[in-house]
Amino acid sequence: MGKRKEYSGYKAYDYLTPGVDYKEFKLREATRKDWEYKVPLSKAEEERVDEIFEKNIVIDLHEHPVLYTEDPSETLALNSEGRDFLAYEALSRSGLDVVFDNLMDGSATITSKHGWKWTDTIHDLGQRLCDIAHQDFVIHCKSVKDIHYAYENGKLAWVAALESSSCIENEVDRIDILYGLGIRQMGLVYSESNRLGTGLDEMRDGGLTDFGYDCVIRMNKVGMLVDVSHVSDQTARDTIESSTRPVIISHAGSKTVHPIKRMVPDDVLRALAEIGGVIGIEAAPGYTATKDQPIPSIETYMAHLEYCVDLMGIDHVGCGPDTLYGDHVGLYRLYDEQMAKAGMGHYTRPVQKEDLVVTELPDYVKGLENPTEAIHNVVRWMVKNGYSNDEIAKIIGLNALRLLEKVW
Protein backbone atom coordinates (compact mmCIF):
# COMPACT_ATOMS: atom_id res chain seq x y z
CA MET A 1 0.00 0.00 0.00
CA GLY A 2 2.98 2.30 0.18
CA LYS A 3 1.87 5.75 1.35
CA ARG A 4 -1.83 4.89 1.45
CA LYS A 5 -1.96 3.70 5.03
CA GLU A 6 -5.21 4.19 6.95
CA TYR A 7 -3.83 5.74 10.12
CA SER A 8 -6.28 7.79 12.21
CA GLY A 9 -3.93 9.40 14.73
CA TYR A 10 -4.03 6.95 17.63
CA LYS A 11 -1.08 7.04 20.05
CA ALA A 12 -0.04 4.27 22.41
CA TYR A 13 -2.37 3.89 25.42
CA ASP A 14 -4.63 6.76 24.36
CA TYR A 15 -7.42 5.07 26.31
CA LEU A 16 -5.55 5.66 29.60
CA THR A 17 -4.55 8.79 31.53
CA PRO A 18 -0.78 9.34 31.78
CA GLY A 19 0.42 9.88 35.32
CA VAL A 20 -2.77 8.36 36.69
CA ASP A 21 -3.08 4.96 35.04
CA TYR A 22 0.63 4.50 34.45
CA LYS A 23 3.94 6.18 35.23
CA GLU A 24 4.67 8.85 32.64
CA PHE A 25 8.05 9.22 30.95
CA LYS A 26 9.21 11.86 28.48
CA LEU A 27 9.51 9.93 25.24
CA ARG A 28 11.65 10.92 22.29
CA GLU A 29 10.25 12.14 19.03
CA ALA A 30 10.27 9.22 16.60
CA THR A 31 12.83 10.91 14.34
CA ARG A 32 15.45 13.63 14.66
CA LYS A 33 15.80 16.01 11.73
CA ASP A 34 19.56 16.36 12.16
CA TRP A 35 19.97 12.57 11.98
CA GLU A 36 17.76 11.97 8.96
CA TYR A 37 19.40 10.79 5.74
CA LYS A 38 18.11 9.72 2.34
CA VAL A 39 20.21 8.05 -0.32
CA PRO A 40 20.20 10.76 -3.03
CA LEU A 41 18.23 9.93 -6.18
CA SER A 42 17.10 11.55 -9.40
CA LYS A 43 13.44 12.42 -9.94
CA ALA A 44 12.95 9.34 -12.12
CA GLU A 45 14.57 7.15 -9.44
CA GLU A 46 12.34 8.69 -6.76
CA GLU A 47 9.27 7.81 -8.81
CA ARG A 48 10.53 4.27 -9.19
CA VAL A 49 10.98 3.94 -5.42
CA ASP A 50 7.38 5.10 -4.89
CA GLU A 51 6.18 2.53 -7.41
CA ILE A 52 8.10 -0.27 -5.69
CA PHE A 53 6.50 0.52 -2.34
CA GLU A 54 3.03 0.77 -3.88
CA LYS A 55 3.19 -2.53 -5.75
CA ASN A 56 4.97 -4.84 -3.31
CA ILE A 57 4.43 -6.30 0.15
CA VAL A 58 7.18 -4.89 2.37
CA ILE A 59 8.29 -6.99 5.36
CA ASP A 60 10.71 -6.00 8.12
CA LEU A 61 11.91 -9.23 9.76
CA HIS A 62 13.31 -7.75 12.97
CA GLU A 63 12.55 -4.48 14.75
CA HIS A 64 11.83 -2.90 18.12
CA PRO A 65 9.31 -0.34 16.78
CA VAL A 66 8.66 1.48 20.05
CA LEU A 67 9.40 4.94 21.41
CA TYR A 68 12.23 5.16 23.92
CA THR A 69 12.78 7.75 26.62
CA GLU A 70 14.28 11.13 25.75
CA ASP A 71 16.92 10.46 28.39
CA PRO A 72 18.48 7.01 27.77
CA SER A 73 19.32 6.73 31.48
CA GLU A 74 15.59 6.34 32.21
CA THR A 75 15.41 3.14 30.12
CA LEU A 76 15.78 0.84 33.12
CA ALA A 77 12.95 2.57 34.92
CA LEU A 78 10.74 2.30 31.83
CA ASN A 79 11.58 -1.39 31.46
CA SER A 80 10.53 -2.08 35.05
CA GLU A 81 7.04 -0.75 34.29
CA GLY A 82 6.45 -3.36 31.59
CA ARG A 83 4.76 -0.92 29.22
CA ASP A 84 6.34 -0.11 25.83
CA PHE A 85 4.93 2.51 23.48
CA LEU A 86 4.40 1.36 19.89
CA ALA A 87 5.23 4.21 17.46
CA TYR A 88 2.01 4.11 15.44
CA GLU A 89 2.39 7.42 13.59
CA ALA A 90 6.00 6.81 12.59
CA LEU A 91 5.17 3.28 11.42
CA SER A 92 2.36 4.65 9.24
CA ARG A 93 5.07 6.54 7.30
CA SER A 94 7.53 3.66 7.13
CA GLY A 95 6.26 1.99 3.94
CA LEU A 96 6.06 -1.29 5.87
CA ASP A 97 3.17 -3.69 5.48
CA VAL A 98 4.57 -6.14 8.05
CA VAL A 99 6.81 -5.59 11.07
CA PHE A 100 8.22 -8.32 13.29
CA ASP A 101 8.23 -6.76 16.76
CA ASN A 102 10.78 -8.55 18.92
CA LEU A 103 9.39 -7.73 22.33
CA MET A 104 12.04 -6.51 24.75
CA ASP A 105 11.77 -9.40 27.19
CA GLY A 106 15.50 -9.59 27.76
CA SER A 107 15.19 -6.19 29.43
CA ALA A 108 11.66 -6.58 30.82
CA THR A 109 12.65 -6.32 34.48
CA ILE A 110 9.31 -6.23 36.24
CA THR A 111 10.04 -9.12 38.58
CA SER A 112 13.74 -9.77 37.94
CA LYS A 113 16.97 -7.90 37.23
CA HIS A 114 17.87 -10.34 34.48
CA GLY A 115 14.85 -10.51 32.16
CA TRP A 116 13.47 -13.47 30.18
CA LYS A 117 11.06 -14.54 32.94
CA TRP A 118 7.82 -16.27 31.94
CA THR A 119 5.56 -13.93 33.92
CA ASP A 120 7.27 -10.81 32.56
CA THR A 121 7.06 -12.13 28.98
CA ILE A 122 3.31 -12.70 29.29
CA HIS A 123 2.92 -9.28 30.93
CA ASP A 124 4.82 -7.59 28.10
CA LEU A 125 2.81 -9.35 25.40
CA GLY A 126 -0.52 -8.74 27.12
CA GLN A 127 0.11 -5.02 27.56
CA ARG A 128 0.96 -4.63 23.89
CA LEU A 129 -2.06 -6.64 22.73
CA CYS A 130 -4.36 -4.58 24.93
CA ASP A 131 -3.04 -1.39 23.35
CA ILE A 132 -3.37 -2.78 19.82
CA ALA A 133 -6.96 -3.83 20.58
CA HIS A 134 -7.89 -0.17 21.15
CA GLN A 135 -7.02 1.06 17.65
CA ASP A 136 -7.67 0.05 14.03
CA PHE A 137 -4.46 0.68 12.08
CA VAL A 138 -2.23 -2.13 13.38
CA ILE A 139 -3.57 -5.68 13.24
CA HIS A 140 -2.18 -8.62 15.21
CA CYS A 141 -0.75 -10.81 12.46
CA LYS A 142 -1.08 -14.56 12.98
CA SER A 143 -1.12 -15.87 9.40
CA VAL A 144 -0.06 -15.15 5.84
CA LYS A 145 -3.70 -14.29 5.15
CA ASP A 146 -3.38 -11.42 7.66
CA ILE A 147 -0.38 -10.09 5.71
CA HIS A 148 -2.36 -9.92 2.49
CA TYR A 149 -5.28 -8.29 4.32
CA ALA A 150 -3.00 -5.59 5.75
CA TYR A 151 -1.42 -4.88 2.37
CA GLU A 152 -4.76 -4.67 0.58
CA ASN A 153 -6.50 -2.53 3.20
CA GLY A 154 -3.88 0.02 4.25
CA LYS A 155 -3.11 -1.62 7.59
CA LEU A 156 0.13 -2.68 9.28
CA ALA A 157 0.51 -6.37 10.15
CA TRP A 158 2.24 -6.61 13.55
CA VAL A 159 3.99 -9.92 14.23
CA ALA A 160 4.74 -10.78 17.85
CA ALA A 161 8.20 -12.33 18.22
CA LEU A 162 10.62 -13.26 21.02
CA GLU A 163 14.40 -13.17 20.73
CA SER A 164 14.93 -16.07 23.13
CA SER A 165 13.12 -19.17 24.36
CA SER A 166 14.54 -18.80 27.88
CA CYS A 167 11.11 -18.04 29.32
CA ILE A 168 9.81 -21.54 28.57
CA GLU A 169 12.37 -22.91 31.07
CA ASN A 170 12.07 -26.71 30.77
CA GLU A 171 8.43 -26.79 29.59
CA VAL A 172 7.98 -27.70 25.93
CA ASP A 173 4.22 -27.11 26.21
CA ARG A 174 4.87 -23.42 26.82
CA ILE A 175 5.65 -23.19 23.11
CA ASP A 176 2.01 -24.10 22.46
CA ILE A 177 0.88 -21.48 24.98
CA LEU A 178 2.98 -18.77 23.36
CA TYR A 179 1.64 -19.73 19.94
CA GLY A 180 -1.89 -19.60 21.31
CA LEU A 181 -1.21 -16.08 22.60
CA GLY A 182 -0.03 -15.03 19.15
CA ILE A 183 3.77 -15.44 19.12
CA ARG A 184 4.78 -16.45 15.59
CA GLN A 185 8.58 -16.30 15.71
CA MET A 186 10.99 -17.17 18.50
CA GLY A 187 14.75 -17.26 18.90
CA LEU A 188 16.24 -20.29 20.63
CA VAL A 189 18.98 -18.50 22.59
CA TYR A 190 19.88 -14.87 23.20
CA SER A 191 23.70 -14.82 23.36
CA GLU A 192 23.99 -16.50 26.79
CA SER A 193 23.22 -20.22 26.88
CA ASN A 194 19.93 -21.62 28.14
CA ARG A 195 18.44 -25.12 28.31
CA LEU A 196 17.98 -25.22 24.53
CA GLY A 197 21.57 -24.62 23.49
CA THR A 198 24.75 -22.59 23.47
CA GLY A 199 24.68 -18.85 22.93
CA LEU A 200 27.26 -16.95 20.94
CA ASP A 201 28.77 -15.37 24.07
CA GLU A 202 30.06 -18.65 25.47
CA MET A 203 33.71 -19.76 25.41
CA ARG A 204 32.87 -23.34 24.39
CA ASP A 205 30.28 -24.31 21.81
CA GLY A 206 28.10 -27.22 22.90
CA GLY A 207 25.51 -26.80 20.16
CA LEU A 208 21.82 -27.68 20.46
CA THR A 209 20.78 -29.73 23.51
CA ASP A 210 18.35 -32.65 23.45
CA PHE A 211 15.76 -30.35 25.01
CA GLY A 212 16.51 -27.78 22.33
CA TYR A 213 15.92 -30.43 19.67
CA ASP A 214 12.53 -31.20 21.23
CA CYS A 215 11.67 -27.50 21.14
CA VAL A 216 12.65 -27.13 17.49
CA ILE A 217 10.40 -30.05 16.55
CA ARG A 218 7.52 -28.64 18.62
CA MET A 219 7.92 -25.23 16.99
CA ASN A 220 7.83 -26.97 13.60
CA LYS A 221 4.62 -28.77 14.59
CA VAL A 222 2.74 -25.71 15.86
CA GLY A 223 3.94 -23.52 12.99
CA MET A 224 6.23 -21.11 14.84
CA LEU A 225 9.22 -19.72 12.93
CA VAL A 226 12.59 -20.71 14.48
CA ASP A 227 15.15 -17.89 14.71
CA VAL A 228 18.88 -18.64 15.23
CA SER A 229 20.19 -15.07 15.26
CA HIS A 230 21.96 -15.07 18.64
CA VAL A 231 22.94 -18.72 18.93
CA SER A 232 26.44 -20.16 18.65
CA ASP A 233 27.64 -21.39 15.28
CA GLN A 234 27.20 -25.05 16.21
CA THR A 235 23.74 -24.45 17.67
CA ALA A 236 22.80 -22.85 14.36
CA ARG A 237 24.18 -25.82 12.41
CA ASP A 238 22.37 -28.32 14.64
CA THR A 239 19.09 -26.42 14.40
CA ILE A 240 19.23 -26.11 10.62
CA GLU A 241 19.93 -29.84 10.37
CA SER A 242 17.17 -30.76 12.84
CA SER A 243 14.32 -28.55 11.66
CA THR A 244 11.71 -29.98 9.30
CA ARG A 245 10.80 -26.48 8.14
CA PRO A 246 12.88 -23.50 6.96
CA VAL A 247 14.72 -21.56 9.65
CA ILE A 248 15.45 -17.84 9.80
CA ILE A 249 18.33 -15.67 10.94
CA SER A 250 16.19 -12.59 11.47
CA HIS A 251 19.01 -10.11 12.09
CA ALA A 252 22.72 -10.61 11.45
CA GLY A 253 25.33 -10.30 8.73
CA SER A 254 28.38 -12.03 7.32
CA LYS A 255 31.30 -13.02 9.54
CA THR A 256 33.52 -12.82 6.44
CA VAL A 257 32.57 -9.16 5.99
CA HIS A 258 32.78 -8.34 9.72
CA PRO A 259 34.71 -11.00 11.70
CA ILE A 260 33.01 -10.82 15.11
CA LYS A 261 31.05 -13.51 16.94
CA ARG A 262 27.72 -11.77 16.33
CA MET A 263 28.01 -12.38 12.58
CA VAL A 264 27.44 -15.67 10.71
CA PRO A 265 30.07 -17.89 9.02
CA ASP A 266 29.72 -18.90 5.38
CA ASP A 267 28.93 -22.57 6.04
CA VAL A 268 25.94 -21.66 8.21
CA LEU A 269 24.68 -19.21 5.60
CA ARG A 270 24.94 -21.87 2.88
CA ALA A 271 23.17 -24.45 5.04
CA LEU A 272 20.41 -21.95 5.77
CA ALA A 273 19.86 -21.37 2.06
CA GLU A 274 19.83 -25.09 1.34
CA ILE A 275 16.76 -25.62 3.55
CA GLY A 276 14.95 -22.58 2.11
CA GLY A 277 15.84 -20.22 4.95
CA VAL A 278 16.35 -16.45 4.90
CA ILE A 279 18.75 -14.07 6.63
CA GLY A 280 17.53 -10.58 7.52
CA ILE A 281 20.46 -8.16 7.39
CA GLU A 282 21.15 -6.37 10.69
CA ALA A 283 21.77 -2.63 11.12
CA ALA A 284 22.32 -2.15 14.87
CA PRO A 285 25.18 0.22 15.79
CA GLY A 286 28.61 -1.36 15.47
CA TYR A 287 27.50 -4.80 14.37
CA THR A 288 26.86 -4.44 10.66
CA ALA A 289 30.06 -2.56 10.06
CA THR A 290 32.79 -4.18 7.96
CA LYS A 291 36.41 -5.09 8.65
CA ASP A 292 37.43 -2.20 6.40
CA GLN A 293 34.77 0.31 7.52
CA PRO A 294 34.28 0.20 11.32
CA ILE A 295 31.59 2.88 11.36
CA PRO A 296 28.19 1.39 10.40
CA SER A 297 26.05 3.06 7.74
CA ILE A 298 23.79 2.22 4.82
CA GLU A 299 26.94 1.46 2.83
CA THR A 300 28.29 -1.15 5.25
CA TYR A 301 24.78 -2.62 5.58
CA MET A 302 24.59 -3.12 1.84
CA ALA A 303 28.07 -4.69 1.83
CA HIS A 304 26.67 -7.45 4.06
CA LEU A 305 23.53 -7.74 1.97
CA GLU A 306 25.41 -8.04 -1.32
CA TYR A 307 27.85 -10.57 0.11
CA CYS A 308 24.97 -12.76 1.33
CA VAL A 309 23.19 -12.45 -2.03
CA ASP A 310 26.35 -13.60 -3.83
CA LEU A 311 26.91 -16.49 -1.39
CA MET A 312 23.35 -17.71 -0.79
CA GLY A 313 21.41 -16.49 -3.81
CA ILE A 314 19.02 -13.56 -3.92
CA ASP A 315 16.07 -15.75 -2.85
CA HIS A 316 17.48 -16.13 0.67
CA VAL A 317 18.18 -12.57 1.80
CA GLY A 318 15.84 -10.05 3.41
CA CYS A 319 15.87 -7.10 5.80
CA GLY A 320 15.96 -7.26 9.60
CA PRO A 321 17.44 -3.90 10.61
CA ASP A 322 16.93 -4.28 14.39
CA THR A 323 16.40 -0.55 14.96
CA LEU A 324 14.14 1.48 17.25
CA TYR A 325 12.70 4.95 17.82
CA GLY A 326 15.19 6.36 20.27
CA ASP A 327 18.88 6.96 20.88
CA HIS A 328 20.15 3.53 19.79
CA VAL A 329 23.82 4.40 20.27
CA GLY A 330 22.96 5.94 23.64
CA LEU A 331 21.44 2.62 24.71
CA TYR A 332 24.68 0.81 23.89
CA ARG A 333 26.61 3.26 26.03
CA LEU A 334 24.00 2.90 28.75
CA TYR A 335 24.55 -0.86 28.84
CA ASP A 336 28.28 -0.42 29.43
CA GLU A 337 27.80 2.32 32.02
CA GLN A 338 24.63 1.33 33.85
CA MET A 339 22.82 -1.86 32.86
CA ALA A 340 25.64 -4.28 33.66
CA LYS A 341 26.04 -2.62 37.07
CA ALA A 342 22.30 -3.11 37.68
CA GLY A 343 22.71 -6.88 37.67
CA MET A 344 21.94 -7.53 34.01
CA GLY A 345 25.40 -8.70 33.01
CA HIS A 346 27.92 -11.18 34.38
CA TYR A 347 31.58 -11.29 35.43
CA THR A 348 33.83 -11.35 32.38
CA ARG A 349 36.22 -14.28 32.33
CA PRO A 350 39.85 -13.06 32.24
CA VAL A 351 40.68 -15.45 29.38
CA GLN A 352 37.70 -14.49 27.26
CA LYS A 353 38.21 -11.56 24.93
CA GLU A 354 34.81 -10.05 24.29
CA ASP A 355 34.70 -9.05 20.65
CA LEU A 356 31.10 -7.86 20.89
CA VAL A 357 32.03 -4.65 22.66
CA VAL A 358 31.38 -1.74 20.30
CA THR A 359 34.45 0.47 20.32
CA GLU A 360 33.78 2.89 17.45
CA LEU A 361 30.31 4.37 17.70
CA PRO A 362 28.96 7.27 15.66
CA ASP A 363 26.23 9.48 17.13
CA TYR A 364 23.76 7.60 14.91
CA VAL A 365 23.75 5.09 12.07
CA LYS A 366 23.58 7.09 8.86
CA GLY A 367 20.63 6.00 6.74
CA LEU A 368 19.45 3.29 9.14
CA GLU A 369 18.57 5.08 12.36
CA ASN A 370 15.00 3.83 12.81
CA PRO A 371 12.36 1.57 11.19
CA THR A 372 10.84 4.43 9.19
CA GLU A 373 14.17 5.29 7.58
CA ALA A 374 15.79 1.88 7.19
CA ILE A 375 13.75 0.04 4.55
CA HIS A 376 13.34 3.22 2.49
CA ASN A 377 17.10 3.62 2.21
CA VAL A 378 17.62 -0.05 1.35
CA VAL A 379 15.22 0.39 -1.59
CA ARG A 380 16.76 3.73 -2.58
CA TRP A 381 20.28 2.24 -2.50
CA MET A 382 19.26 -0.73 -4.64
CA VAL A 383 17.51 1.52 -7.16
CA LYS A 384 20.58 3.75 -7.34
CA ASN A 385 22.89 0.77 -7.79
CA GLY A 386 21.15 -0.95 -10.67
CA TYR A 387 18.96 -3.63 -9.09
CA SER A 388 15.78 -4.58 -10.96
CA ASN A 389 12.32 -4.12 -9.48
CA ASP A 390 11.94 -7.90 -9.22
CA GLU A 391 15.22 -8.26 -7.32
CA ILE A 392 14.27 -5.48 -4.91
CA ALA A 393 10.82 -6.99 -4.36
CA LYS A 394 12.45 -10.24 -3.23
CA ILE A 395 14.75 -8.54 -0.73
CA ILE A 396 12.07 -6.32 0.85
CA GLY A 397 9.30 -8.89 1.13
CA LEU A 398 8.82 -11.76 -1.30
CA ASN A 399 11.59 -13.93 0.16
CA ALA A 400 10.16 -13.54 3.66
CA LEU A 401 6.62 -14.16 2.41
CA ARG A 402 7.66 -17.37 0.67
CA LEU A 403 9.32 -18.55 3.88
CA LEU A 404 6.26 -17.77 6.00
CA GLU A 405 4.00 -19.66 3.61
CA LYS A 406 6.08 -22.78 4.32
CA VAL A 407 6.30 -22.36 8.09
CA TRP A 408 3.01 -20.81 9.23
Residue 355 is predicted with a pLDDT of 56
How many angstroms separate the CA atoms of 53 and 31, rounded? Answer: 21
pLDDT one-digit tens code per residue, 42-98: 999 999 999 999 999 999 999 999 999 999 889 888 988 889 999 999 999 999 999
Spatial distance between the Cα atoms of 184 and 100, rounded to a whole number of angstroms: 9
pLDDT digits (tens, 9 = 90+) for 88-130: 999 999 999 999 999 977 777 888 877 889 999 999 999 999 9
pLDDT per position as a tens digit, 195-228: 999 999 888 999 999 999 999 999 999 999 999 9
Can you tell me the mean pLDDT for 352-376?
A: 80
Domains parsed from the chain with CATH numbers: 33-162+246-407 (3.20.20.140)
Instruction: Express each pLDDT in 267-277 by its tens digit.
Output: 999 999 999 99
3-state secondary structure of 140: strand
Task: Give me the torsion for CA of 283, 367, 376, 301, rounded to 10°.
Answer: -40
Tell me: pLDDT of 291 over 70.
yes
Q: Can you list the positions of beta strands (E) in 292-398?
A: 317-319, 324-325
* Predicted local confidence at residue 157, as pLDDT: 98
**Is the pLDDT at 360 greater than 80, yes or no?**
no
Tens of pLDDT along 192-204? Answer: 899 999 999 888 9
Q: Considering only 99-113, 178-192, 383-397, which range has the smallest mean pLDDT?
A: 99-113
* Between 344 and 282, residue with greater pLDDT: 282
CB 303 within 8 A of CB 386: no
Q: What is the pLDDT of residue 191?
A: 87
Ranking 7-21, 38-52, 319-333 by mean pLDDT, the lowest is 319-333
pLDDT of residue 150: 97
Q: Which stretch of DSSP H or E encloses residue 86?
A: strand 85-86
Phi and psi of 158, rounded to 5°? -100, 120
Max mean pLDDT among 30-34, 117-121, 261-265, 395-399 falls in 395-399
Instruction: Residue 82: name the closest of 119, 110, 49 by CA.
Output: 110
Q: Which among 163, 173, 154, 175 is positioned nearest to 7, based on CA atoms? A: 154
Output the pTM of the full model. 0.95
Q: How far apart are CA 46 and CA 380, in angstroms?
A: 8
* Stronger pLDDT, 343 or 73, i.e. the higher one: 73
How far is it, in rounded angstroms, from Cα 386 to Cα 371? 24
End-to-end Cα separation, the chain, in angstroms: 23
70, 293, 271, 306: CA torsion to nearest 10: 100
9: amino acid identity, one letter: G
User: 291, 272, 302: which is closest to 355 by C-alpha?
Assistant: 291
What is the pLDDT averaged over residues 156-167?
97
How far apart, in whole angstroms, are the C-alpha atoms of residue 322 and residue 285?
Answer: 10
**Percent of the chain at pLDDT above 70?**
93
Q: Looking at mean pLDDT, say which of 104-108, 155-159, 334-338 comes out highest.
A: 155-159
C-alpha–C-alpha distance, residues 361 and 380, integer Å: 24
Q: Residue 288 — pLDDT band, cuts 50, 70, 90?
A: confident
